[in-house]
A and B are shown apart, each in its own frame.
Chain A
Amino acid sequence: MRVPILKQGDILIASIQSALTDRDLLELRDELMHQVGKFRSRGVIVDVTVLDVMDSFAVRTLRALAHMVRLRGAETVIVGIQPEIAFAMVQLGLDLGGVTTALDLEEGLAFLARQGRRGAGSGSRG
């Protein structure tokens, strides 16, 4: 596993450290899905700050990951998309299809904390 996943309370934080191949991305998706169930996590943060390219495969995989995690009752936040990557994504016509994004890890954690307070005892959204 090339991407370390840190467990902090009921949140999983995956910090991408280097360029990833397609297989690495799929592994990350599967591992996060597994850990969400294992640790009964409520939130997942994927930190993509170091990525200098997010091509169609990367975007599609992250979008699928977020949707799968949501079906398991947890919320995913993609954090750290760099401005030039955002520009390239828009030019290429890619979007994350309703997946929550945040500026950085701190904002991502704050978002999940707010979600947690709102959602306490009322189940998750579909």
Chain B
Amino acid sequence: MGVEVEVEVEVVVSSEADIVRARQQGRALAQQAGFTGTDLALIATAISEAARNILEYAKKGEVFLRIVHQGETRGLSVEAQDKGPGIPDLPLAMQDGYSTGKGLGMGLPGMRRLMDQFEIRSKIGSGTTVKMSKWTRAHG
């Protein structure tokens, strides 16, 4: 069964204020999709980290926020893309403790824990795309 998109919102990220905007938009959409309480905080935090990575490493990029459904289950999908320098060593960046908490880390393993699905593609010189989603538990 395919994933269908109900609503899509694009947030251009090129300043600190956009980080706040992206996570607030994401939170509102997640609420609309049926998420509550802790899930809203987890989703908003993951979006904040993804948007911050764009600003930090690529200066500019886009975050696409989508309410999606697969059969009866609704969810929120987040796609953060940039045309920045790319990540040289992706397996290293995905290692826990590599960057979180100290310096201006990418916090990729942390983001993966906040969401249900997480996927990253990066190519040196052409950019990075993070796709992540979370599903409501209401129907399954």
Chain B residue at minimum C-beta to C-beta distance from A95: B101
Q: Give how many A-B residue pairs fall within 8 Å (CB-CB).
A: 76
Residue B27 interfacial (CB < 8 Å): yes
A87 touches B49 (CB 8 A): no
Question: Which of B40, B97, B105 is the one whose CB lies under 8 Å from A52?
Answer: B40
Question: Which of A20, A21, A22, A52 is the one whose CB lies under 8 Å from B41?
Answer: A52
A55 touches B52 (CB 8 A): yes
Chain A residue at minimum C-beta to C-beta distance from B15: A21
Known: A52-B44, A91-B42. A21 touches B16 (CB 8 A): yes
Residues of chain B having any CB pair with chain A under 8 Å: 16-17, 19-20, 23-24, 27, 37-38, 40-42, 44-45, 48-49, 52, 96-97, 100-101, 105, 107, 109-111, 113-114
Interface centre among A21, A56, A60 (most CB of B within 10 A): A56
Residue A71 interfacial (CB < 8 Å): no
Interface centre among A19, A83, A93 (most CB of B within 10 A): A93
Residues of chain A having any CB pair with chain B under 8 Å: 19-23, 52-57, 59-60, 82-85, 87-88, 91-95
Give Cα A85 to B96, complex, Å: 20
Known: A55-B45, A87-B41. A92 touches B16 (CB 8 A): no
Residues of B within 8 A of A88 (CB): 38, 41-42, 45, 114
Shortest Cβ distance from residue B103 to the other chain A in the assembled complex, whole angstroms: 9
Known: A56-B52, A91-B113. A84 touches B37 (CB 8 A): yes
Give Cα A95 to B110, complex, Å: 12
Shortest Cβ distance from residue A69 to the other chain B in the assembled complex, whole angstroms: 20
Give Cα A55 to B46, complex, Å: 8
Residues of B within 8 A of A60 (CB): 101
A53 touches B101 (CB 8 A): no
Closest 4 CB pairs of A and B: A92-B110, A84-B41, A55-B48, A84-B38
